[in-house]
Structure 1
Amino acid sequence: MRVTDQGLVRESACTVVDKLRSGEVTPLDLLDVLEKRITEVDDKVNALPILCFDRARQHAKALMQKPAAERGLLAGLPVPIKDLTNVADVRTTQGSPIFKDTVATRSDIVVTNLEANGGVVYAKSNTPEFGAGANTFNEVFGATLNPWDTSRSAAGSSGGAAVALATGMAWLAHGTDMGGSLRNPASFCGIVGMRPSIGRVAHTPNAMIDRNLTVHGPMARNVEDLALLLDAMSGEYAADPLSLPAPTASFLSATRSGKRPKRIAYSSDLGITPVDPEVKAITRRAAERFAEAGAIVEEAHPDLFEAHECFHVLRAFDFAVTKAALLRTKRDLLKPEVIWNIEEGLKLTVEQIERAEAQRVAMTARTLEFFGSYDLLLTPATIVAPFPIENRYVAECDGKKFDNYVQWLGIVYAITLACCPALSLPCGFTASGLPVGLQMVAPPRGEAQLLAGAKVLEDILGVRGMTPIDPRTVR
């Protein structure tokens, strides 16, 4: 008898995996539950525009032929993949009209690894065109709406993934992050999203072997579930020369260790950006509650003053290397922000790139030194609460106008440049009921201590279990 209880969507991923291992539910049961939930919810938020349930059921049936102990860490749990990443025999549009009908012939390494670890891919999550811009909309599928208030942005670029989690259309989700694309939508949607260290999650190299501003990472509704997915995503692969071996002790065990940080730094702005006063107050209150775990909490941050100049150059260089051919042949099909990014990259001189790389080395060195004194660094994950969906980006904050459409993301892309793992943890709500995320940062390759600390604060704040929700519109 098939189990199709819709109450399953409210269970944690760890609980559902336990049910899969015990035989209480099957992967096919879970696919039925998700298909029904998507039918009920997704037309209100537009998070999962590409579905591949036939492929998922074939994979699930093949997995079920194996003994339960041989079905991998996820044991048949369904997982959506961001629509920038190839899944064999499934559309991969990258949110672009140029690729709106493209069907991938091979899966990216990150997908192959997840499937080998018992993940079942059933959908592709929505993303802005080529992941550019922290607001999830594109000309192929339209906008993804924030379920806490469907008149608001879900941020991006992993916006579809975050909304699927927040609305119970996924237990876990895959995403990518260059300038906060796992952390920003997590903050806006009240879930947890993590940018791991460079190489932690292997993926298929694209355009450059050593391309490392962008990483793949996990999203979930709570810290334990996030750790479970990170375990399933981690591992070394020869095809990705930057990839790291999986740790000897699992990230889930580290999360459950109860290990408490002793000294915490909080910064409202990293010294580089304006922040909405309400967001600043909410995140500071959350950070100060680490004192309840016996931690010393101080105001401090590493010196990251070069972050805006450095990121602008390195991001532009990345776009030029990966997208210049499209500008030459498909310019009329590219959105203005993508054209701007590519053209900025093509104008760069070797001297500018040299300066930016040196700035990144210096910021990383100073940040490593900073972590000699502190276990974790805490900041707002986004400098504003979810903004109206019709705004393409944040043009100003607290009276300061930004120079370009990505500068409002400085508080997260500075951490990208410093090569640190970081996550966004739900930490409170604005007066109007919109979620706010706290960015938590650890030194490079410090995922274990980051996850352990995040679980300690999650327990103190009592935020676990506040999602999934049904989409709502606030008038």
Structure 2
Amino acid sequence: MSNITNMTALDQSQAIAEGQLSAAELMQATLAQIETVNPQVNAIVSLRDADVLMAEARAADAAPRKGWMHGIPLAVKDLANAKGLPTSMGNPMFAETIAPKDDLVVARMRAAGAIIIGKTNTPEWGLGSHTFNPVHGATRNPYDLARSAGGSSGGAAVALATRMLSVADGSDMMGSLRNPGAWNNVYGFRPTYGRVPSEPMGDNFLHQLSTLGPMARTPRDLAALLDVQSGADPRQPHGARYDLTLGPIDAPVAGRRIGWLGDWGGAFAMEAGLLAQSEAALPELEALGLTVEHVAPPFAAEAIWDSWITLRSWAIAGGLSVFYNDPAKRDQLKPEAIWEIERGLALSAMDVHRASVIRSDWFKACARLFERYDALMLPTTQLYPFPVEWTYPQEIAGQGMDTYHRWMQSVTPVGLLGVPCINIPMELSAAGLPAGLSLFGPRDSDAALMQLGQAWHQAYRYAERCPPVA
């Protein structure tokens, strides 16, 4: 690993702007790091030709500066379209499908100066927080190559941790920016729903579970990328306020109140040691001048879960049933996708209505909590990275998992509401494995959460530790 690839994205940007580093030197160092590390972890896929990338970097050096990302290498999550690159979504049907144009968020990052070098690996269709698929294989955790990297932004998180990228994009329906952030010792941010618009395809009114967002090794880089990605799309109805988050990121946080939800009163099965490790971080938060209080479960966890899996299956069926309805294509869907689609197709309109009423009631209950607390907090995951050959965990602490995603239940209270959430890295476990804490706040509190992340990072700098593979 070179000193160049270990720099933060904003430091790389400043060095290029001041003439201390060229985009060509950064690209050369990036490609060298990928050549050394990627064969071990399989995080970056569909890498473009090195000579072409070097030519683009030299062209960036000769061109007027576009934005803070000018000359920064970026690999895009393989669920998003980047012009000229395949968008496989981890499924063989699309392995050779070349995107004719950039998705909106990719176009925004390219317009800010990013050089798109390839894609980052993801689970098939982005389903399941474990990055493996029949097109590109499994992505491995750089803290233990025998373990999962998480997902669905697993390739992005690993590329950051191993210094192959300095900043990365991702997406999050069920923890996909937060889980891999926790498991790879980096920051992941789920924005307020509507702040970072996806493509205006299909229904744009009803399905409000998934969002795009940034990942980085520092909150400042996280905020800078979020500011690039943010902004209303007039073709879509659910735009959110998008005040800049980088400018105010160093605001003082002393005096703010945090509500600790822990394992939701025992409702979330936790691997041995993880809850204790999480609670050991509470005094570290208090040392920042924050008040941390234990909060009793504010809503029935099972009701949130029932609402979540109903609305999730409904949304997935809306997007993937076109493949299910074609017998030739149905055979190329993984079992978890078929399970989701069949559940979604079996729902009645009143089933969906009841699930949305539960979501509405939970939103109101959460709003009452935010009258007292600036943010609420949970462990980001319910277990440490599991063996990479597993499809998903069958049990946690002796409690059986009744679905392929029940082990991710702790992320659903946030995802159901569309509120912003940041994963912050913690100290490594006794076995040397990463974990994280998730802080979430009311809608449009993105900047306030970035400030909490920045205060944490400035004090503890856990994300600066390199994994064994880097």
Paired with 1:322 and 1:268, the residues of 2 have a C-alpha distance of 34
What is the alpha-carbon distance in structure 1 between the residues aligned to residue 204 and residue 48 of structure 2?
30
Structure 2: distance between partners of 1:122 and 1:63: 14
The residue that corresponds to 1:8 in the other structure is: 4
Higher mean displacement: 175-184 or 276-285: 276-285
Work out the CA distance in 1 between the residues paired with 2:182 and 2:317. Answer: 29
Per-residue deviation at 1:461? Answer: 3.0
Unaligned regions of 5+ residues in structure 1, if any?
none
Pick aligned residue for 1:323 from 320, 325, 332: 320
Contact 2:182 2:424 in 1 (8 A): yes
2:205 is the counterpart of 1:207: no
Contact 2:192 2:240 survives alignment (8 Å): no
Between the aligned partners of 1:281 and 1:246, the Cα distance in structure 2 is: 36
- CA deviations on 1:257-296 (whole Å, 9 max, x unpaired) are 2333521111211343112231101111112322112222
AA aligned opposite 2:31 = E
Answer yes or no: is 1:126 the counterpart of 2:121.
yes
Alpha-carbon shift at residue 217 of structure 1 (Å): 0.4
Which amino acid letter does the alignment assign opposite residue 434 of structure 1?
L
Preserved contact between residue 76 and residue 116 of structure 2 (Cα < 8 Å):
yes
**1:273 is matched with which residue?**
268
Q: Does 1:28 align with 2:24?
A: yes
Matches within 5 A, 1:41-52: 41-52=37-48
- Indicate the larger mover: 150-159 or 231-240: 231-240
Q: CA RMSD in A?
A: 1.7
Which secondary structure does the structure 2 equivalent of 1:333 belong to? coil
Whole-angstrom distance in 1 between the partners of 2:215 and 2:437: 15
Comparing 184-193 with 455-464, which one deviates more in the overlay?
455-464
Relative to 1, partners in 2 of residues 1:270 and 1:420: Cα closer, same or farther, differing over 3 Å? farther
One-letter amino acid of the counterpart of residue 141, structure 1 = H
Q: Is the 8 A contact 2:241 2:444 kept in 1?
A: no
**Aligned CA distance change for structure 1 residues 353 and 234 (closer, same or farther; 3 Å):** same
The whole-number CA distance in structure 2 between the counterparts of 1:355 and 1:396 is 29
1:265–1:374 CA contact under 8 A, matched in 2 = yes
Q: CA deviation at 1:59?
A: 5.1
Taking a change above 3 Å as real, the CA distance of residues 331 and 374 of structure 1, as seen in their structure-2 partners, is same
Contact 1:237 1:243 in 2 (8 A): yes
Assess if the C-alpha contact under 8 Å between 1:260 and 1:456 holds in 2. no
Contact 1:234–1:245 (CA under 8 A) maintained in structure 2 = no
Q: How does 1:69-218 map to 2 (within 5 A)?
A: 71-210=66-205, 211-218=207-214
Distance 2:62 2:235 in 1: 29
With over 3 angstroms needed to count, the CA separation of the structure-2 counterparts of 1:449 and 1:144, relative to structure 1, is same
In the superposition, relative to structure 1, how do residues 414 and 294 fare at CA in structure 2: closer, same or farther (>3 Å)?
Answer: same
Corresponding position of 1:259: 253
Q: Secondary structure at the match of 1:439?
A: strand
2:469 corresponds to 1:471: yes
**Identity among equivalent pairs (%):** 34
Task: Give the equivalent residue in structure 2 for 1:231.
Answer: 227
TM-score, with length taken from structure 2: 0.94
CA distance in structure 2 between the partners assigned to 1:394 and 1:208 by the alignment:
33
- Amino acid corresponding to residue 116 of structure 1 in structure 2: A
Q: Is 1:285–2:284 an aligned residue pair?
A: no
The residue that corresponds to 2:216 in the other structure is: 220
Q: For the residues of structure 1 that align with 2:386 and 2:342, how far apart are their CA atoms?
A: 28
Instruction: Compute the displacement of 1:464 (Å).
Output: 3.9
Q: TM-score, normalised by structure 1?
A: 0.94
Deviation, structure 1 residue 405 = 0.9
Which secondary structure does the structure 1 equivalent of 2:426 belong to? Answer: strand
1:411 maps to what in 2? 410
Please give the per-residue CA displacement for 1:197-219, whole angstroms capped at 9, x wherever unaligned. 11111221232213321100000
Aligned length: 463
Deviation at 1:23, TM superposition (A): 1.9
**Structure 1 residues 420 and 396: CA distance shift in structure 2, 3 A:** same
Amino acid at match of 1:89: G
State whether residues 77 and 120 of structure 2, in contact with CA within 8 Å, keep that contact through their aligned partners in structure 1: yes
SS at match of 1:15: helix
Q: 1:361-380, aligned counterparts within 5 Å? A: 361-380=360-379
Task: Specify the alignment match of 1:242 in structure 2.
Answer: 238
Q: Give the Cα separation in 2 of the matches to 1:359 and 1:394.
A: 28
Deviation at 1:41, TM superposition (A): 0.7
CA–CA distance in structure 2, aligned partners of residues 261 and 404 of structure 1: 41
Q: Which residue of 1 aligns with 2:397?
A: 398
Equivalent-residue separation in structure 2 for 1:420 and 1:235 (angstroms): 16
What code does the residue aligned with 1:334 have?
A: L
What aligned pairs does 1:299-318 form with structure 2 within 5 A after superposition? 299-300=294-295, 301-305=297-301, 306-318=303-315
* Letter paired with 1:348: L
Contact 2:240 2:444 (C-alpha < 8 Å) held by counterparts: no
Deviation at 1:57, TM superposition (A): 4.9
> Aligned to 1:424, what secondary structure does the other structure show?
strand
SS of 2:247's partner is: helix
Q: Tell me, what secondary structure is at the counterpart of 2:99?
A: coil
C-alpha distance in structure 2 between counterparts of 1:6 and 1:363, whole Å: 48
Find the aligned partners of 1:277 and 1:331 in 2 and give their Cα distance: 39
Q: Tell me, in whole angstroms, the C-alpha distance in 2 between the residues paired with 1:281 and 1:450.
A: 23
Partners of 2:89 and 2:7 in 1: CA distance = 31
Pair 46,267 (structure 1): closer, same or farther in 2 beyond 3 Å:
same
Counterparts of 1:185 and 1:99, CA distance in 2:
24
Contact preservation (8 Å) 2:43, 2:158: yes
Cα distance 1:88–1:154, how it changes in 2: closer, same or farther (>3 A)?
A: same
Question: What's the counterpart of residue 446 of structure 1?
Answer: 445
Alpha-carbon distance between aligned partners in 2 of 1:339 and 1:385, rounded to the nearest angstrom = 27
Is 1:224–1:256's contact at 8 Å kept on the other side of the alignment? no
